[in-house]
Amino acid sequence: MASNNHHHNHKNDDNHLNGDSSVSHVPKKPKLGSFITDSEIQSEFAHHDPAVARINNGSFGCCPASVIAAQQKWQMKNLRQPDHFYFNELKKGILHSRTVIKEIINADHVDEISIVDNATTAAAIVLQQTAWAFQEGKFQKGDAVVMLHYAYGSVKKSMEAYVTRAGGKVIEVQLPFPVNSNEEIISEFRRALERGKTDGSRVRLAVIDHVTSMPSVVIPVRDLVKICREEGVDQVFVDAAHAIGCIDVDVKEIGADFYTTNLHKWFFCPPSVAVLYSRKSPSCSELHHPVVSHEYGNGLATESAWIGTRDYSAQLVVPEVLEFVSRFEGGIEGIKKRNHEAVVEMGRMLATAWGTHLGSPPDMCASMVMVGLPTCLGISSDSDALNLRAHLRDDFGVEVPIYYRPSKDGEIGLVTGYARISHQVYNKADDYYKFRDAINQLVRNKFTCALLSN
Amino acid sequence: MDEDHRNDEGSPENHRTPKKRRLSGFISESEIREEFSHHQAGVARINNGSFGSCPRSVLAAQNKWQLRFLQQPDDFFYNTLQKAILESRTLIKDLIHADDVNDVSLVDNATTAAAIILQRIGRRFVQGKFQKNDTVIMFDSAFPAVKKSIQAYVIPAGGSLVEVRLPFPVHSNEEIITEFKKGLERGKANGGRVRLAILDHITSMPSIVLPVRELIKICREQGVDQVFVDGAHAIGSLHIDVNEIGADFYVSNLYKWFFSPPSVAFLHCKNSSAIFDLHHPVVSHEYGNGLPIESAWVGARDYSPQLVVPSILNFVNRFEGGIEGIMKRNHEEVVKMGSMLAESWATNLGSPPEMCASMIMVGLPSRLGVTSDEDALRLRSYLRDYHGIEVPIYYQALRNGESNSKDKDGYITGYVRISHQVYNSAEDYHKLKSAINHLLDDGKICKMLPKE
């Protein structure tokens, strides 16, 4: 995979410890005035397994070779002289990344921007603060925290660990899926807020996904935040794990108290780095990173920038990522637009080929869309979905997550399995044809998931 | 030679993976230099204690793991990651003589382990299982992050802290044991119980090896609930047998003295049931499955440092005597170099040789005038920026009622903490010796040094 033609482009050879196992094919930068070409894009992602139709950017994201090279540069800087790096370079580098992010998401102050490992960590930080408020008696036992039924698994567990244990009541918003309009979501949300306010208790926190994970749908967060303010919800935390690089993120306009998004999913950063935005306000609570270092008490951003000795290089390459996206026509906006158009086109192609449907209208998806799978596959449980996914991976070279949607009362013959397809700059139509053909073959061969569960 | 040359027609000479040793030969001097050739040339790097070091062959192994993830992350997550973490945990279990791999968790660093343990203590206070007069006891030399963790998790929950003065310079284990016993009395003075004792195996600043086995025995005799040994520096510095040491919780960083990349540490729990009562503060879908499993998935991130333990063992086994041989030689050399410096400066060592491992404190001439933490930091920066020497400096204020160290010109209030690791040579320490002597010859004191 490492192309010998490219080794003369190694800018910083002291990065390359072992040529055959590092990403050594750093592609040439384009001539001034021209955009990145198709073959340059393929080169940037040449480390991806070529035998796999990788249509699951949503789970683990991707990182181009030039950003990986930049990361290795930072890693070597540290290893070269770690004391000097710690005293003279690290803080500056993180501040630079935070400043860049602040601009991208339209925050007012760089103080509002903290960098953490991932949205999972951000959730721990926000919910820890909620738990403290219960413990200190600021919130009463029985006060509610509202979250979406489709909230990410780790967020649900965080609720258990931090909220339920501290005496809070967790209320889940039942979301319809397939979904047809924002109104369906908004009315369920209102209903959940009402449940939260029974018996004179208050809704202290609403945790709202910007783009749900499974099943994946774009939530009308602006509307929901407005409703929260109208209904007297204390705080709103938007879990936007997928958002940056996928949909528009303007934290002021969205208006949440806390907003987190992973940069390693759709924003080309290496694993892993996320931003936690915390709006400055007179009543804002003190957030703390749960791993306490000597920086404790100096503000979340400073605490998060030092949580003990570890590799912070993923947090330092944000400026280089900006360089990468600027090579594309329209920058990140162009990438988002083209990803959306392509994933909708491919989703429709698949739905047509299989005689199924999309899980949401195109305007409720960004760079991922749910596509119904043929009912004859017999997906009737979560483990069926997982088994089918493994079967597609191992025997067809297709990587795509499958969602099991249980039938509700009165429903017959409905689609119970959906594939969540992603489109990122490295994808090609062939990836989706491969998937289409794999499913068609399974259908032809009268395959059912029951065959896998032995 | 060629069979070891992996690939890389165009790659510069110094980036080849170093040759493995020929059978029956140990790693040579030049191979060691090659393994650490990424260290900045011209720097006398005598501070392995702070950030550790990682040889190129382990870094190469890490890159391999990172690449595997990037190639097909879903497959890596579902089919590779957990197995590889379990393999690392199993190797560590053997290294530390633990009974059960279920008792071994991997976390980022000792700082994270402290958060895990102290969060649990905090919960106990909140739940009313511990009472207001109950205490946590530790030496005042505990790592700053640990002190802050107590402020964050124990104090607000209603617990109190008892700090025990660490005698320094120290002459014997007895001095430490005496102070600790006094501290335990204070901890029980208000009728409360001592719920947790936090003991460094090797303190950070000033650095000495504590007699943890004896201290733990005393803890058990005196009814201390639990003992947490912060062995941040321990693995690769001294012998660890967690059963013999007998702590309830034991943590050590692998990236300091055990050649791993930043960063990974192990946390061992004596009682297997404890792993369900401790939680990683970053909650994932693995919540409730026991600390080792929770720690093996704290959301999407780079777990590669946790995966290279097998490669580390390959590395250390290229040395005569393996890790034991490395530890022995590091200890002998650091004592030798420390003594050389103390003699040249006419000062003293901060502890007797048997109370140090691969780091030792050496008194700085009183004439240098280290009179504050700022002075110490200033001197450290000066040595880094003007002499290419990396060494941490410790300031100790004069203490009432104790014998303070003196040299012919006054009281010794500044110490260097020198480390010795396999990449160090005598030259590194002579460089330090000369730099300090030059300062003295020029009549300089800390306050005269350039400000940052």
What ipTM goes with this model?
Answer: 0.91
**Mean pLDDT to the nearest integer, B177-206:** 95
pLDDT along chain A (454 residues), means of 10: 40 42 53 85 97 97 98 97 96 97 97 96 95 92 93 91 93 94 96 90 96 96 97 96 96 97 98 95 81 94 94 97 97 98 98 97 97 96 96 98 89 89 98 98 96 80
Q: With a CB-CB cutoff of 8 Å, which residues 198-227 of chain A face chain B?
A: none
CB A17 to CB B298 under 8 A? Answer: no
Cα–Cα distance for residue pair A336/A327, rounded to 1 Å: 14
Q: How many angstroms separate the Cα of B272 from the Cα of each of A88, B94, B278, B290?
A: 43, 16, 11, 9
Backbone angles phi, psi at A187, to 5 degrees: -70, -35
Cα–Cα distance for residue pair B226/B134, rounded to 1 Å: 13
Which among B258, B255, B2 is positioned nearest to B107, based on CA atoms?
B255
CB B299 to CB A297 under 8 A? Answer: no
Q: Which of B47, B53, B72 to mutate to test the interface with A (most CBs of A within 10 A)?
A: B72
For residues A369 and A360, is the Cβ–Cβ distance under 8 A? yes
Q: How many angstroms separate the Cα of A288 from the Cα of each of A258, B110, B160, B335?
A: 13, 18, 21, 42
Assign A245 to helix, strand or coil: coil
Cα–Cα distance for residue pair B3/B105, rounded to 1 Å: 37
For residues A116 and A274, is the Cβ–Cβ distance under 8 A? yes
What does the pLDDT read at residue A363?
96
Q: Which of A13, A161, A264 sits opposite B279 (nearest CB)?
A: A161
DSSP letter, residue B28? P
Q: Which of B47, B111, B262 sits opposite A293 (nearest CB)?
A: B111
Asked whether residue B51 carries a pLDDT value surpassing 70, the answer given is yes
CB A118 to CB B301 under 8 A? Answer: yes
CB A310 to CB B64 under 8 A? Answer: no
DSSP H helices, B16-165, are 29-35, 48-51, 56-71, 73-75, 81-95, 110-126, 144-153
pLDDT in tens, B70-108: 999 999 999 999 999 999 999 999 999 999 999 999 999
What does the pLDDT read at residue B133?
84
DSSP letter, residue B274? G
What does the pLDDT read at residue A331?
97
Q: Side-chain half-sphere of A387: how many Cα atoms within 13 Å?
A: 16
Cα–Cα distance for residue pair A42/A27, rounded to 1 Å: 10
What does the pLDDT read at residue A283?
62
Q: What is the DSSP string of A11-72?
A: S-GGG-S-TTTS----PPPPPTT-PPPHHHHHHHTTTS-TTSEE--HHHH----HHHHHHHH
What does the pLDDT read at residue B334?
98
CB A117 to CB B282 under 8 A? Answer: yes
Contact residues on chain B for A21, CB-CB shorter than 8 A: 6, 60, 63-64, 67
Q: Which of A141, A164, A310 to mutate to test the interface with B (most CBs of B within 10 A)?
A: A310
Give the rounded distance of the alpha carbon of A134 from its chain centre: 29
DSSP letter, residue B237? T
